[in-house]
Amino acid sequence: MKKIFALLLALIMVVGILAGCKKTPDPKPVDPTKAPEQETAAPEVTLPPMADWDGKYIERDDYKAYIKHDLDFLYATIKDQLGDTAGAVDEAMAAGKQAIDFAGTVAEVRTAYAGAYQAILDAVPTFDGLVSYKKLSNAERTDILGILERFAVTTGITGISLFENGGYVMYNPRVTLGTENFIVGYGFGILPEGNITEDLEYEANPAWKRYYHIFEANDPGTVNYLNDQGSQVGDLYAYIAASFFTNFMNETKDGYDWVPELAMEKPVAVNDDDGDGACTTWKFQVRTGADGLKYTTNSTMADRAAFNNRPVALEDYEYAFKLLLTQQNALYRGSELANTKSGAIAGAKDFYNATENGFDEAAWANVGIKTYEEGGKSYFEVTFTEEQTQFYCMYYIASSLYMPVPEEFINLVGVENYLSFNKDATESPVDNSLALGAYALEQWDSDMQIVYGKNPNYVYTDTKYAIPGVHVKIFPAAQEDTTAGFNEFIAGHFDASGIPQEYLNEYRNDPRTRNTTGDSNFKLNVNATNEETWEYLFGEEGVVTQTQKDAYWEVKPCLGNNHFVKALSLSIDRLTFANARGSIPAVDYLSSNYMSDPENGISYSTTDAHKKAIEGLIEDTDGYGYSLELAREYFRVALTELEAEGAYTPGTKENPTVIHIEIAWMRPTQEEQFHNEIKNFLETAFNDESVCGGVYQLSVDFWVGNEWDDVYYDKMMLGQFDIGFGSISGNPLDPIGFVSVLSSDQEISGGFTLNWGVDTNDPDAYPIVYEGKRYSFDALYNAVNGKAIVSEGKNEVSLSFEYTNIVKNDDGSYSGQFLIKATLPDITTITVDDIACCNYERYYNGDKQYVECYLSDPACGSFNVEDKGNGEYLVTFTVNADIAADYATGSGTSENPEGQTGFDFYYTMVFDGTEQSGLYYSVNDNFVVE
């Protein structure tokens, strides 16, 4: 009996061991949406015998489970927005899963998935027509951002996020913080709401002992933020600057409020004709000398000291813009303001272009900046090129760059010396600046210290900014030695410092330590193109850039497989990686600083829309997208698929097929700082015996350029990379505008696309469904940021133009044709107002006038517009012979016909009931004057 019992026990154990010795663990793809299991409802059918399984690295049922999980995930992506199409999609899902069940080989499973995918696409109609979601509520726009983000995350165009650049900061106990909890987008409120109640022993000057002591590695030599492109000068300028509107912590100390600073009220709409709360022109009352607003300077020079306590005049507000936008002043931020698209001021660009030789009164008249007095009050009025809500009007006009300054002061110190040293360094920024902000420059010892004292004339000087000054020590050792500043802090010489990596473990939990969020997420950007896509984007005739054949990048098929890229992402232990570096682990595309509701300080990263968008990245992981086992599973899935496609051939265990992936970095130091650990994560995950038995080997290689930005300009922007490290930061108050850089359309991304793979204007690339209709990423992006013309789900331009180069007539005149096509002819009418003959060479040679004449003038020529129907307008035009001769200076030649002439076509478009002016310019026409 004992023997029989022992035998039975042994038998049970053997069965148990065999069951536990499956080649791969049970897959655990979880349906996060709890989608109904449709298979049970499928009708019974007679099946042909199933083909033999040809996958080597994963069992058939396991593979099918992953593919079904993909299908479930897709369903979860769109189900909330399906509306009436939900039934059809459910049917497509059920049929798709059944087809997968019946599939025998890898290829059959993939074909079944593709069929299901297409059926789902077919079940949801694409959007057609004109659409705008810009004026939706913040919550609704946040939902759309979530949809866009989920598309981007799923298709891999967000890259693989690693960490957010926030971390740990220590504060001297003598500093009372405004709040103990970091407020995203605001901070701890140290200067405005905090205080210092003890002296700093180390400070030798008794007057400065209660000043807030911080350090900068370098002395920038200026606080002229108007002409600077970095952030350091901006930070130093901010102490002395005031703006129309500012932020202060709210009463509950968990957020911040927008309050008028130089303004006296929030903006009031001027031309909100449709009453939707958005318009182009806004006005608000501003403070002047009459309201007690005065300039402050601590200069001891008599002519500068004369400006101390000088009342602010209303014209000073307008002069600040004149100063900034006059091109002759060559101010960096002026050029940026003139060329910006977000929050652009009407007429600013034209004024900038017209002022290369100095201020132009006539051009200024068309700039959307006005000041006036009304009823004894002073008003500032701004006109934007696009409609803005009250909040975004405040946001765009709140820049401290627009701080008023008297014209006489600029005339006295000189534009080139404003906020800086003069040429002989006999005048410092203390002498060449006027403060309206919380502090005023008190002392500037080059390469030693910059000291600010409290500005008694500041608007909120009685209620805010209790700390009497700021002492900025110039501490170059911080640049050479990352621990130097921290050592000074520990010695009690500074009031704040970040914690270097070496000291993290020791001070992470110190009572003086606080956590902060970051403003940028650093990522591994991925080139997921295949050869065909790469050729289209970057080949000899590429739409992004043109590359010679011998410089073609060898794209890696594995990176085009989304399961492989997902496995790479799952391989990285972000928590360990980030903790070791004092930063914040991140799987998100946007950092915590991006606000979904900027007016109320709600971070997008806390919203449900965002959480849903990234659920695919974190399900079944440690919460930061890391699961070594799942990574290996996805590597098995990917290798199975890649082999089935014929992309790779396995080697042997002794001589494996090596898959090389190169990661491009910014700096050589990053090899030790980041690369080696990332390489270890990826190779450890892939090269494990359990993945493929050693017949493949992953090798992660290091690349770095001569300059830190080579990784952008020479690699990622040109498609010359596998994986590239980097980050781009945008406007934290406009995350929905910042996702533009995810678009593969260079017009939308501004040329800053870093991840390549899907065509973001292809509505079939991965379904984006909003209110029962499918869109491409580009179409929905444009709709939520303005207006989009959508045709079959794709984003389209409102008008397209076909310009035919002009030809010489027998009488010496020149004629040409120009065809305008409306994309939506039913709601579009076009009127051509005039055509200007332009000679750009004359402009560049100093005339500053590039229009030779207008064809509405018979002395110049003539033009005729023919309405050909269906939204097509044919413009035929002629330039008289004598006028054409004037082009000789700017025209091309027979050998080099690309000249400096062109035609500007001014038209008026009535689009969907809204009239707007337009301009098309022919560039580099072949206008050859013989």
Partner 1 sequence: MGKYVLKRIGLAFLTTFIILSLTYILVKLLPYERPLGGDPIQIAYFDKQYNLGYVGRYEQEMPELGKLLYKSPAFHGRSNYYYQVPVLKQYVNWLKNIITRWDWGVSKTYQPNVKASTIIMKRIGYSIRLNILSSVWAVPVGLLLGIWAALKKNSITDHIISTIVMIFIAIPSFVLISFVLRIFAYNLGWLPSTWPPDTASTWTKIKGYIIPVFCLSFAPICGYCRFTRAELCEVMESEYLLLARTKGLTRRQAIVRHALKNAMVPIFPSILAEFIGILGGSMILESLYGIPGIGKLFVLSLNYKDYDILFVDMAIFTTIALLAGVVTDLSYGFIDPRIRMGAKK
Instruction: Show contacts with partner 1 in window 211-250 (CB under 8 A).
Output: 218-219, 221-222, 224, 227, 229
Coil/strand/helix, residue 819 = strand
Which CB, 423 or 611, lies closer to partner 1?
423
Within 871-900, which residues bind partner 1 (CB under 8 A)? Answer: 898, 900
The minimum distance between CB 289 and partner 1, in angstroms, equals: 31
CA distances from 227 to 198, 230, 324, 340, 402 (A): 38, 10, 9, 16, 13
Which CB, 536 or 840, lies closer to partner 1?
840
Under 8 Å between Cβ of 767 and 761? no
- Contact with partner 1 (CB under 8 A) among 250, 340, 579, 823: 340
Within 407-446, which residues bind partner 1 (CB under 8 A)? Answer: 416-417, 420-425, 443, 445-446
Residue 610 lies near partner 1 (rule: CB under 8 A): no
Nearest to 43 by CA among 127, 102, 126, 118: 102
Within 819-838, which residues bind partner 1 (CB under 8 A)? Answer: 838
The minimum distance between CB 601 and partner 1, in angstroms, equals: 25
What b/e string do you get for 127-151 counting C-beta neighbours within 10 Å, with b at 16 or more? Answer: beebbebbeeebeebbbbbbbbbbb
Residue 9, classified by CB atoms within 10 Å of its CB into exposed (0-12), middle (13-18) or buried (19+), is exposed
- Contact with partner 1 (CB under 8 A) among 231, 706, 914, 917: 706
Cβ-based neighbour number of residue 383 at 10 Å: 20
The minimum distance between CB 716 and partner 1, in angstroms, equals: 11
Which CB, 218 or 864, lies closer to partner 1?
218
Query: What angle (nearest 5°) sits at the alpha carbon of residue 408, between those of residues 403 and 413?
Result: 85
The minimum distance between CB 709 and partner 1, in angstroms, equals: 6
Query: Which distant-in-sequence residues (6+ apart) come within 8 Å of 870 by Cβ?
Result: 825
The minimum distance between CB 455 and partner 1, in angstroms, equals: 21
Coil/strand/helix, residue 239 = coil
Which CB, 6 or 923, lies closer to partner 1?
923
Which CB, 103 or 496, lies closer to partner 1?
496
Within 444-463, which residues bind partner 1 (CB under 8 A)? Answer: 445-449
The minimum distance between CB 339 and partner 1, in angstroms, equals: 4
Which CB, 422 or 697, lies closer to partner 1?
422
Under 8 Å between Cβ of 824 and 129? yes
Within 837-856, which residues bind partner 1 (CB under 8 A)? Answer: 838, 840-841, 844
- Measured CA to CA, the distance from residue 133 to residue 780 in angstroms comes to 9
Residue 595, classified by CB atoms within 10 Å of its CB into exposed (0-12), middle (13-18) or buried (19+), is buried
Listing DSSP states for 768-815 in one string gives EEETTEEE-HHHHHHHHHS-EEEETTEEE-SEEEEEEEEEE-TTS-EE
Q: Which region among 60-68, 405-413, 643-651, 708-716 touches partner 1 (by CB under 8 A)?
A: 708-716
Within 269-308, which residues bind partner 1 (CB under 8 A)? Answer: none
Within 617-646, which residues bind partner 1 (CB under 8 A)? Answer: none
The minimum distance between CB 847 and partner 1, in angstroms, equals: 14
Within 491-510, which residues bind partner 1 (CB under 8 A)? Answer: 491, 493
Q: Which region among 236-244, 480-488, 495-503, 781-789 touches partner 1 (by CB under 8 A)?
A: 480-488
Residue 476 lies near partner 1 (rule: CB under 8 A): yes
The minimum distance between CB 200 and partner 1, in angstroms, equals: 14
Cβ-based neighbour number of residue 268 at 10 Å: 15
Query: Which distant-in-sequence residues (6+ apart) come within 8 Å of 177 by Cβ?
Result: 171, 188, 189, 190, 194, 514
Residue 924 lies near partner 1 (rule: CB under 8 A): yes
The minimum distance between CB 666 and partner 1, in angstroms, equals: 11
Tell me how many residues contact partner 1 (CB under 8 A). Answer: 72
- Measured CA to CA, the distance from residue 307 to residue 433 in angstroms comes to 10
- Contact with partner 1 (CB under 8 A) among 39, 502, 608, 709: 709
- Contact with partner 1 (CB under 8 A) among 37, 61, 336, 540: 336
The minimum distance between CB 476 and partner 1, in angstroms, equals: 5
Q: What is the DSSP letter of 910?
A: E
- Measured CA to CA, the distance from residue 691 to residue 636 in angstroms comes to 6
- Contact with partner 1 (CB under 8 A) among 70, 216, 488, 588: 488
Beta-strand ranges (E) seen in 119-266 are 129-131, 160-164, 167-171, 175-176, 195-196, 212-216, 245-249, 256-260
Within 716-775, which residues bind partner 1 (CB under 8 A)? Answer: 728, 750-752
Q: Which region among 490-498, 616-624, 643-651, 759-767 touches partner 1 (by CB under 8 A)?
A: 490-498
Q: State the sign of the Cα–Cα–Cα–Cα dihedral 878, 879, 881, 887.
A: negative
Residue 333 lies near partner 1 (rule: CB under 8 A): yes
Indicate the residue type of 889. T
- Contact with partner 1 (CB under 8 A) among 270, 412, 474, 644: 474
What's phi and psi for 494, nearest 5 deg? -125, 165
Listing DSSP states for 456-483 in one string gives TT-TTTTTS--S-EEEEEE-THHHH-TT
Alpha helices in 250-389 (DSSP H): 302-305, 314-325, 332-339, 348-353, 361-364
The minimum distance between CB 896 and partner 1, in angstroms, equals: 9
Which CB, 205 or 649, lies closer to partner 1?
205
Within 105-164, which residues bind partner 1 (CB under 8 A)? Answer: none
- Contact with partner 1 (CB under 8 A) among 487, 513, 829, 856: 487
Strands 851-854 and 449-454: unpaired
- Contact with partner 1 (CB under 8 A) among 76, 109, 236, 484: 484
The minimum distance between CB 74 and partner 1, in angstroms, equals: 33
- Measured CA to CA, the distance from residue 477 to residue 694 in angstroms comes to 49
Which CB, 536 or 752, lies closer to partner 1?
752
Strands 828-839 and 901-911: antiparallel
The minimum distance between CB 916 and partner 1, in angstroms, equals: 17
- Contact with partner 1 (CB under 8 A) among 713, 807, 825, 834: 713
Within 341-380, which residues bind partner 1 (CB under 8 A)? Answer: 341, 349, 353
- Contact with partner 1 (CB under 8 A) among 189, 453, 861, 902: 902
Indicate the residue type of 608. D
- Contact with partner 1 (CB under 8 A) among 84, 480, 654, 689: 480
Which CB, 236 or 264, lies closer to partner 1?
236
Which CB, 299 or 371, lies closer to partner 1?
299
Residue 661 lies near partner 1 (rule: CB under 8 A): no
- Contact with partner 1 (CB under 8 A) among 177, 311, 332, 889: 332
Which CB, 221 or 557, lies closer to partner 1?
221
Within 195-214, which residues bind partner 1 (CB under 8 A)? Answer: 204-205
Q: How far is CA 544 from the centre of its chain?
A: 19
Residue 566 lies near partner 1 (rule: CB under 8 A): no
- Contact with partner 1 (CB under 8 A) among 408, 622, 629, 904: 904
Beta-strand ranges (E) seen in 622-718 are 657-665, 696-704
Residue 650 lies near partner 1 (rule: CB under 8 A): no
Residue 712 lies near partner 1 (rule: CB under 8 A): yes
Cβ-based neighbour number of residue 22 at 10 Å: 10
- Measured CA to CA, the distance from residue 877 to residue 833 in angstroms comes to 13
Listing DSSP states for 261-286 in one string gives SSBSS--EES--TT-SSEEEEEEEEB
Cβ-based neighbour number of residue 929 at 10 Å: 19
